[in-house]
C-alpha cells in the first residue's frame, strides 16, 4: 500500500496501518539509535519509544511525504534525550557485543564504525548519519536538526576531519 | 566515508525482537489515545451499525433494492412498492449485494438470499411506503416466520458491516432481546410513517418508553460489538 494512504489511515487512528508503515523504517531507526547509544538494549528501547511517540503525534504530521524525515527527527531527539538521561548514570563498562567475534572482517572498516560511534559527539553523529546514511542534503539536515545551515556545514566538516584523523592513526599502526 | 557508512551500519545486527518492540510502542500509544480513538471508531461504526439495524427498519431500501433484479425484475417495478426508494439507494444496496457475494461463501450467500426473500415478501405484504412493518398488525403466523428469519439473518448483516456476529457476542437471551428491540424500533417507525429514526418527542407518550428501551438496547449491543 502506498505510504501516503498508510499515513492517512494511521492519522485516523488505525494502528495496524501504522505498524505496517513503521516496520518499513524500524531497522533504520534501530541502526541510527545504535550509533548514539552504543548498545542493543538501549537501541531497542529507542525503537519502542520512537514507535510510541510517533504514533501518538502522527496526527500533527501535515505532509505524509515527509514521514521519514519526521521519523528520523524523532529518532534523533529520542536518542539525545536518552543519552542526556544516562549521563547522570556512570556506566560500569560499555559493551560492544555486535563487534565481538568479527575478527575476520576488514579491520579498517570495522574500526570506522567504532570510530563513528566512539569519537564523534552527538551533534556530529546526527549530521553524519543524516548525510551519509539517510542521504540528506545539508539544507535538509539543518531543517531536521533545527540548526542554521552554516552550523550544519561546520559540524559536518569537523566530523569528517575527526574521522580522517582517526583513519590516519589507524593507518600508522598498520 | 560516504560509500562506507551504509555498509558499516548494515553490520549492526538487527535483533529479532525489534518487531515486537515497535508493536509495543504503538500499542502503548494506542491505549493512551483510547478515548480519542474510540470516539472516532464509534462514530464510524455508528453509521455502519445504523445501516445494519436500520436495514431492518428501513427495509425498503435494503432488501428490496438488494434483490431488486432477482426478485422484482427492475428498478421501476421495485419503485412501485417503495416510493422512497432512490436510484442511489438501489445502486448502493446492489453494491452491498455484490459485497455479500464476495464476503460470504457460496452456500452462505444462498442462505442469505433465501432469508432476504422472506423479508422482501413481508415488506411487500405488510410494509408501509417506507418499507417499515408495523408488526403489531401482522398476523401471528407470518410474524413468527419473519421473526425466525430475522434471527438467522442478523449475523449476516453484522458480517457485511465488518462486525462480530451479534448472535455470537450475545447470550441467547440477550439476542432474543436484541431482535425484540429491532422489532419495536421498526414498528414505531411504521406507526409514525417516517423513514429515519425519530426523536423520542415525536413518539406518542405510551410508546416512548418501549422505544427508548429498544434504542438503548441497540446501543448496548453496538457497543459490545465494537469492543471486540
Taking an 8 Å cut-off on Cβ atoms, the answer to whether B21 and A133 are in contact is: no
| More reliable by pLDDT, B146 or A173 | B146
Tell me, what's the pLDDT at A145?
92
User: pLDDT class for B21, splitting at 50, 70, 90?
Assistant: very high
Tell me, what's the pLDDT at A18?
93
Taking an 8 Å cut-off on Cβ atoms, the answer to whether B9 and A35 are in contact is: yes
Tell me, what's the pLDDT at A31?
92
Measured between CA atoms, how close is A112 to chain B, in angstroms?
8
Tell me, what's the pLDDT at B83?
47
**What is the secondary structure of B91-138 as a DSSP string?**
HHHHHHHHHHHHHS-HHHHHHHHHHHHHHHHHHHHHB-TTS-B-GGGS
Tell me, what's the pLDDT at B87?
53
Pick among B6, B10, B20, B25 to test the A interface (most A CBs inside 10 A):
B25
Extents of the domains making up chain B: 55-227
Q: Could you report the per-residue pLDDT of B197-209, keeping only the tens digit for each?
A: 777 777 787 778 8
Give the mean pLDDT of B213-221. 81
Tell me, what's the pLDDT at A98?
45
Q: Which residue from A24, A30, A72, A60 is spatially nearest to A48, judged by alpha carbons?
A: A30
Tell me, what's the pLDDT at B90?
55
Contact A33, A42 (CB under 8 A): yes
B55-227 maps to CATH 3.30.750.24: no
Q: Which residue from B219, B207, B50, B215 is spatially nearest to B134, judged by alpha carbons?
A: B207
Tell me, what's the pLDDT at B96?
66
- Separation between Cα atoms, residue B124 and residue B183, nearest integer Å: 17
Pick among A9, A10, A13 to test the B interface (most B CBs inside 10 A):
A13
Taking an 8 Å cut-off on Cβ atoms, the answer to whether A113 and B8 are in contact is: yes
Measured between CA atoms, how close is A129 to chain B, in angstroms?
8
Q: Torsions phi, psi of B177, nearest 5?
A: -65, -35
- Separation between Cα atoms, residue B202 and residue B205, nearest integer Å: 9
| More reliable by pLDDT, A142 or B99 | A142
| More reliable by pLDDT, B211 or B28 | B28
Which residues in chain A have their CB less than 8 angstroms from residue B2's CB?
131-132
Indicate whether this complex's ipTM tops 0.90: no
Statement: residue A37 has pLDDT above 60: yes
| More reliable by pLDDT, A141 or B58 | A141
The model's pTM: 0.48
A167 CB-near residues (< 8 Å, 6+ apart): A108, A112, A115
Taking an 8 Å cut-off on Cβ atoms, the answer to whether B21 and A12 are in contact is: no
Which residues in chain A have their CB less than 8 angstroms from residue B28's CB?
48, 52
**Partner residue opposite B25 with nearest CB, options A27, A50, A102:** A50
CA A129 to the chain's CA centroid:
6
Measured between CA atoms, how close is B102 to chain A, in angstroms?
21
Q: Could you report the per-residue pLDDT of B137-154, keeping only the tens digit for each?
A: 888 888 888 888 888 877
Taking an 8 Å cut-off on Cβ atoms, the answer to whether B1 and A112 are in contact is: yes
Which residues in chain A have their CB less than 8 angstroms from residue B42's CB?
none
Tally Cβ neighbours within 10 Å of residue B3: 8
Tell me the average pLDDT of chain A: 82
**What is the secondary structure of B20-53 as a DSSP string?**
HHHHHHHHHHHHHTHHHHHHHHHHHHHHHHHHHH
Taking an 8 Å cut-off on Cβ atoms, the answer to whether A116 and B8 are in contact is: yes
Measured between CA atoms, how close is B164 to chain A, in angstroms?
18
- Separation between Cα atoms, residue A41 and residue A45, nearest integer Å: 6
Contact B89, B139 (CB under 8 A): no
Pick among B3, B6, B8, B10 to test the A interface (most A CBs inside 10 A):
B8
Lowest mean pLDDT among A32-41, A59-68, A101-110: A101-110
Domains of chain A by range and CATH? Answer: 1-95 (1.10.1740.10), 104-174 (1.10.10.10)
Taking an 8 Å cut-off on Cβ atoms, the answer to whether A22 and B8 are in contact is: no
Statement: residue B113 has pLDDT above 80: no
Taking an 8 Å cut-off on Cβ atoms, the answer to whether A51 and B13 are in contact is: no
Three cell numbers, residue B62: 435494503
The Cα-based distances of B36 to A4, A16, A158, B117, B200 in angstroms read 22, 16, 46, 41, 28
DSSP state of A36: H
Contact A64, A54 (CB under 8 A): no
Lowest mean pLDDT among B2-6, B47-51, B118-122: B47-51
Tally Cβ neighbours within 10 Å of residue A2: 8
Q: What percent of chain B has pLDDT over 90?
A: 5
Longest dimension (CA), chain B: 87
Taking an 8 Å cut-off on Cβ atoms, the answer to whether B9 and A52 are in contact is: no
Which residue is it, cell 428501551? Answer: B213
Tell me, what's the pLDDT at B110?
74
Tell me, what's the pLDDT at B89?
58
- Separation between Cα atoms, residue B35 and residue B15, nearest integer Å: 34
Give the mean pLDDT of B213-217. 82
Taking an 8 Å cut-off on Cβ atoms, the answer to whether A51 and B24 are in contact is: yes
Element spanning A32, H or E: helix A26-37
Measured between CA atoms, how close is B46 to chain A, in angstroms?
16
Statement: residue A102 has pLDDT above 50: no
| More reliable by pLDDT, B65 or A146 | A146
Measured between CA atoms, how close is B43 to chain A, in angstroms?
12
Amino acid at each position: 500500500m502506498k505510504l501516503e494512504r498508510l499515513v492517512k489511515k494511521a492519522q485516523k487512528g488505525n494502528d495496524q496501518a501504522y505498524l505496517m508503515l513503521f516496520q518499513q523504517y524500524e531497522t533504520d531507526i534501530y541502526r541510527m539509535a545504535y550509533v548514539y547509544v552504543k548498545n542493543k538494549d538501549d537501541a531497542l528501547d529507542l525503537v519502542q519509544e520512537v514507535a510510541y511517540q510517533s504514533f501518538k503525534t502522527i496526527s500533527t504530521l501535515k505532509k505524509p511525504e515527509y514521514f521519514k524525515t519526521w521519523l528520523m527527527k524523532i529518532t534523533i531527539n529520542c536518542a539525545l534525550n536518552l543519552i542526556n538521561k544516562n549521563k547522570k548514570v556512570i556506566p560500569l563498562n560499555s559493551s560492544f557485543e555486535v563487534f565481538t567475534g568479527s575478527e575476520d572482517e576488514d579491520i579498517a572498516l570495522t574500526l570506522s564504525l567504532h570510530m563513528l560511534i566512539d569519537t564523534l559527539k552527538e551533534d556530529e553523529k546526527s549530521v553524519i548519519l543524516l548525510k551519509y546514511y539517510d542521504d540528506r542534503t545539508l539544507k535538509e539536515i539543518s531543517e531536521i536538526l533545527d540548526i542554521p545551515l552554516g552550523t550544519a556545514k561546520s559540524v559536518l566538516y569537523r566530523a569528517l576531519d575527526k574521522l580522517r584523523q582517526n583513519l590516519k592513526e589507524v593507518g600508522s599502526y598498520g | 566515508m560516504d560509500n562506507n557508512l551504509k555498509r558499516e551500519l548494515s553490520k549492526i545486527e538487527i535483533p529479532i525482537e525489534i518487531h515486537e518492540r515497535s508493536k509495543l510502542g504503538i500499542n502503548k500509544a494506542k491505549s493512551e489515545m483510547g478515548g480519542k480513538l474510540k470516539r472516532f471508531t464509534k462514530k464510524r461504526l455508528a453509521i455502519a451499525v445504523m445501516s445494519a439495524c436500520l436495514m431492518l427498519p428501513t427495509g425498503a431500501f435494503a432488501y428490496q433494492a438488494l434483490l431488486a433484479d432477482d426478485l422484482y425484475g427492475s428498478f421501476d417495478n421495485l419503485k412501485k412498492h417503495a416510493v422512497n426508494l432512490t436510484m442511489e439507494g438501489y445502486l448502493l444496496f446492489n453494491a452491498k449485494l455484490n459485497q455479500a457475494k464476495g464476503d460470504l461463501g457460496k452456500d452462505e450467500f444462498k442462505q442469505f438470499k433465501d432469508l432476504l426473500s422472506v423479508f422482501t415478501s413481508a415488506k411487500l405484504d405488510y410494509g408501509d411506503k417506507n418499507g417499515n412493518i408495523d408488526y403489531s398488525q401482522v398476523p401471528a403466523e407470518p410474524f413468527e416466520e419473519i421473526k425466525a428469519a430475522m434471527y438467522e439473518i442478523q449475523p449476516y448483516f453484522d458480517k457485511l458491516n465488518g462486525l462480530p456476529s451479534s448472535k455470537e457476542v450475545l447470550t441467547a437471551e440477550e439476542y432474543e432481546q436484541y431482535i425484540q428491540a429491532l422489532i419495536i424500533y421498526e414498528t414505531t417507525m411504521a406507526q409514525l410513517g417516517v423513514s429515519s429514526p425519530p426523536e423520542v418527542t415525536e413518539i406518542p407518550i405510551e410508546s416512548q418508553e418501549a422505544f427508548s428501551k429498544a434504542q438503548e438496547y441497540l446501543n448496548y449491543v453496538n457497543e459490545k460489538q465494537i469492543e471486540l
